[in-house]
Chain A
Amino acid sequence: MAGRRMRPASFSRTLTIMMHKFRTTLAGYGFIFPAIVLVAIFLLYPIGFVIYISFHKWGILGTPVFVGLKNYVTIFSDDRFWQAVLNTGYYMVLAVPTQIGLGLLLAILVNRKGTAGRGFFRTIYFIPLSISFVAAGIIFQWILTTTPIEGFLSHLFGQLGLPFPQWETTDSNWAMVAIALMNTWKSAGYAMVIYLAGLQGINRDYYEAAAIDGARSEWQVFRYITWPLLAPTTVLLVISTVIFTVRGFEPIFVMTQGGPAGATTTLVYYLYEKFPNTMGVSSAAATFLLVAILVLTLVQFLASRRAESYY
């Protein structure tokens, strides 16, 4: 009796639930429809396509020809490719610590109590972030140039009797320093803002406890309280800054076009140079970089989990 009454009831309930689920799913896909179509076409499909191209000889004219791993052999036996790998590392080493370090210094200074005009200073340090790399690159080029005529800083060094590297010609190792300098000016405000948020998230009790425990110098407080508590912020910043630096194309394109003698040709610039005549080679380099970014992100993610569990 009870069974007979239960069955149709539960059936219709299942049906209602299914109908409901169907309708919400329909509604959900309706809402994400534009996003899913665009992401699939312009973000996901190109990943597969770039890998596909990397197995072909693909020029701007003519039909693509399947060549297997030949493009990978080409890049791995190309000295300029390995130079580009090294240059990317060099740029990272120059740009990431300076940007994060200066950002931390700015954040600590701006965050100090009892100084006038903190919002004003924060704004000033932050303004370069809203200026384009084209503008920043052109300005720094003219400040730092040595050939054919001395720019502001090179002239100033000369007046003081100091040597200034010929970064556009013979002292090619300094070309990346010039780019990193421009990048630091433009991007330190970003690290500052992230650190400011981190600093404001630190419970003031820690500082009081440190004072009671006899922390004397400001350096001690920073070393044993602030810096460890900022670890998650630092990890986040390192991840985003490393990725931003690795993909940096515009600073190099505007200031040096990869030169002198390939000294500032990073991986991204290398694959731009191979476009559009040897797109297969360019895509092999892009695939290599894609794998590198995946590995880098994974390593940093794991490291950040360890760092968080540690502090």
Chain B
Amino acid sequence: MVRKRNYGTMFLLIVLAVLFLFPLVYMLGGSLKTNQEADSKPETIFPEQPQWRNYIDIFDAPNFNILLQTRNSLIVTFTVTAGQIFVAALAGYAFARIRFIWRDTIFIIFLATLILPFELIFVPLYLMLAKWGWINSFLALIVPVIANPFAIFMFRQFFITVPIELEEAMRMDGAGYMRIFLSLMLPLSGPPFLTIFILTWLAEWSALLRPMIFARTPDMWTLQVGLNFLNRGAQVTTPTTAYLMAGIALASIPPVVIFLIMQRRFVEGIAQTGIKG
């Protein structure tokens, strides 16, 4: 009885796994076709003759700017992630442990902004950045998203759990808030650090709307903007569909690898808070 049911479960698990993996297999298959084949025979999964060279040729294919755009993406993702962690660790500690005036009011206002999607405020942001002359610069791609109330919330929730006795012992020795933060709290904050790192890094690597609006010229585009541009029918005379598949396959490697390495942290981070990165 029990055995029979488990075979059923196993069967369903495998069928679903095949369905979930299929789009990725299709992408890899497409990336190994010739451009003509990918364009004229999208119904096949595997190439007639695998074109491994696609993964080399794509780097100097016309309109593809993989290296430069990858560089842009790396600059944006790592700066935003580091900035968010820096700002959020400081603020999270204050919200958790320092009793300053209006603390709870400010914290609630911060939390309330969590329901505010970027999609609703990109117009005013664009006008502000245009006025400052920031459009088409890394400043525009990075600075507006450094303050992440969700990251602040994560750090606060973590710092609250640190035993107060540790802090009091240091205070007895005459340590101020900054020293407590630097030599006690920060070294302990591995868990929220990693959670925010993976959630923010993945979200930033995949982001499209913000870099698309705030970066106007191809040399400032991130990888996602560049690949999306090619998909939306960049005016090219020869098909580049297989290159495009290779491009999105390459662009998917860093997030998938980071995800596989840090999966446990990712799952815990999401499950703890219920907020999508």
- Determine which of B98, B118, B124 lies in contact with A28 in the assembled complex, contact meaning CB atoms within 8 Å: B98
Considering the complex, which residues of chain A in the window 1-52 have a beta carbon less than 8 Å from any beta carbon of chain B? Answer: 21, 24-32, 34-36, 38-39, 41-47, 49-50
Interface residues of A (CB under 8 A from B): 21, 24-32, 34-36, 38-39, 41-47, 49-50, 53, 106, 109-110, 112, 114-117, 121, 123-143, 145, 149-152, 154-156, 185, 190, 193-194, 196-197, 218, 236-237, 240, 243-244, 246-247, 249-250, 253-254, 257, 268, 271-272, 275-276, 279, 282-283, 286, 289-290, 293-294, 297
Q: Could you tell me if A132 and B206 are in contact, using CB atoms closer than 8 angstroms?
A: yes
What's the Cα separation between A127 and B17 when bound, in Å?
Answer: 11
Q: Could you tell me if B42 and A145 are in contact, using CB atoms closer than 8 angstroms?
A: yes
Q: Could you tell me if A185 and B20 are in contact, using CB atoms closer than 8 angstroms?
A: yes
Q: Could you tell me if A46 and B125 are in contact, using CB atoms closer than 8 angstroms?
A: yes
Q: Could you tell me if B224 and A43 are in contact, using CB atoms closer than 8 angstroms?
A: no
Is residue B234 within 8 Å, beta carbon to beta carbon, of the partner chain? no
Cβ contacts under 8 Å, B109 to chain A: 39, 44
Interface segment out of the listed B57-65, B188-196, B267-275: B267-275
Q: What are 12 contact pairs spanning A and B, CB under 8 A? A: A32-B94, A49-B124, A109-B9, A114-B6, A131-B252, A134-B248, A143-B26, A152-B45, A240-B276, A247-B120, A268-B120, A293-B115
Known interface pairs A35-B147, A39-B113, A289-B120. Does A115 touch B10 (Cβ–Cβ under 8 Å)?
Answer: yes
Cβ contacts under 8 Å, A275 to chain B: 122-123, 126, 213
Is residue B36 within 8 Å, beta carbon to beta carbon, of the partner chain? no
> Closest residue to B244 on the A side, CB-wise?
A138
> Closest residue to A27 on the B side, CB-wise?
B177
Cβ contacts under 8 Å, A297 to chain B: 115
Q: Could you tell me if B87 and A35 are in contact, using CB atoms closer than 8 angstroms?
A: yes
> Closest residue to A28 on the B side, CB-wise?
B100
> Closest residue to B89 on the A side, CB-wise?
A31
Known interface pairs A24-B99, A115-B10. Does A236 touch B274 (Cβ–Cβ under 8 Å)?
Answer: yes
Is residue B78 within 8 Å, beta carbon to beta carbon, of the partner chain? no
User: What's the interface size class on B, roughly?
Assistant: 35 or more
Q: Could you tell me if B116 and A151 are in contact, using CB atoms closer than 8 angstroms?
A: no
Q: Could you tell me if B208 and A132 are in contact, using CB atoms closer than 8 angstroms?
A: yes
Known interface pairs A43-B147, A46-B125, A145-B42. Does A135 touch B248 (Cβ–Cβ under 8 Å)?
Answer: yes
> Closest residue to B21 on the A side, CB-wise?
A124
Is residue B169 within 8 Å, beta carbon to beta carbon, of the partner chain? no
7 pairs of A and B residues whose beta carbons are closest in the complex: A28-B100, A38-B147, A155-B43, A132-B206, A31-B94, A49-B124, A197-B271
Q: Could you tell me if A123 and B260 are in contact, using CB atoms closer than 8 angstroms?
A: yes
Is residue B251 within 8 Å, beta carbon to beta carbon, of the partner chain? yes
Q: Could you tell me if B128 and A46 are in contact, using CB atoms closer than 8 angstroms?
A: yes
Known interface pairs A139-B27, A149-B40, A185-B20. Does A31 touch B91 (Cβ–Cβ under 8 Å)?
Answer: yes
Cβ contacts under 8 Å, A50 to chain B: 120-121, 123-124
- Other than the given A39-B113, A139-B245, A149-B42, 11 more pairs (CB < 8 A) read A24-B98, A35-B110, A39-B149, A42-B125, A139-B26, A194-B270, A237-B274, A240-B276, A293-B116, A293-B120, A294-B115
Is residue B255 within 8 Å, beta carbon to beta carbon, of the partner chain? yes
What's the Cα separation between A133 and B205 when bound, in Å?
Answer: 11
Q: Could you tell me if B20 and A127 are in contact, using CB atoms closer than 8 angstroms?
A: yes
Is residue B209 within 8 Å, beta carbon to beta carbon, of the partner chain? yes
Q: Could you tell me if A36 and B263 are in contact, using CB atoms closer than 8 angstroms?
A: no
Q: How far is the CB of A299 from chain B (nearest CB, A)?
A: 13
Q: Could you tell me if B13 and A109 are in contact, using CB atoms closer than 8 angstroms?
A: yes
Q: Could you tell me if B10 and A28 are in contact, using CB atoms closer than 8 angstroms?
A: no
Cβ contacts under 8 Å, B93 to chain A: 31
Known interface pairs A43-B147, A53-B124, A152-B26. Does A240 touch B13 (Cβ–Cβ under 8 Å)?
Answer: no
Is residue B146 within 8 Å, beta carbon to beta carbon, of the partner chain? yes
Is residue B143 within 8 Å, beta carbon to beta carbon, of the partner chain? yes
Q: Could you tell me if A240 and B275 are in contact, using CB atoms closer than 8 angstroms?
A: yes
Known interface pairs A50-B120, A134-B206, A134-B228. Does A35 touch B152 (Cβ–Cβ under 8 Å)?
Answer: yes
Is residue B90 within 8 Å, beta carbon to beta carbon, of the partner chain? yes
Is residue B183 within 8 Å, beta carbon to beta carbon, of the partner chain? no
Cβ contacts under 8 Å, A218 to chain B: 5
What's the Cα separation between A268 and B24 when bound, in Å?
Answer: 28
Known interface pairs A131-B255, A134-B228, A150-B42. Does A31 touch B98 (Cβ–Cβ under 8 Å)?
Answer: yes
Cβ contacts under 8 Å, A106 to chain B: 16
Q: Could you tell me if B124 and A38 are in contact, using CB atoms closer than 8 angstroms?
A: no
> Closest residue to A43 on the B side, CB-wise?
B113
Q: Could you tell me if B121 and A132 are in contact, using CB atoms closer than 8 angstroms?
A: no
Q: Could you tell me if B95 and A32 are in contact, using CB atoms closer than 8 angstroms?
A: yes
Is residue B103 within 8 Å, beta carbon to beta carbon, of the partner chain? yes
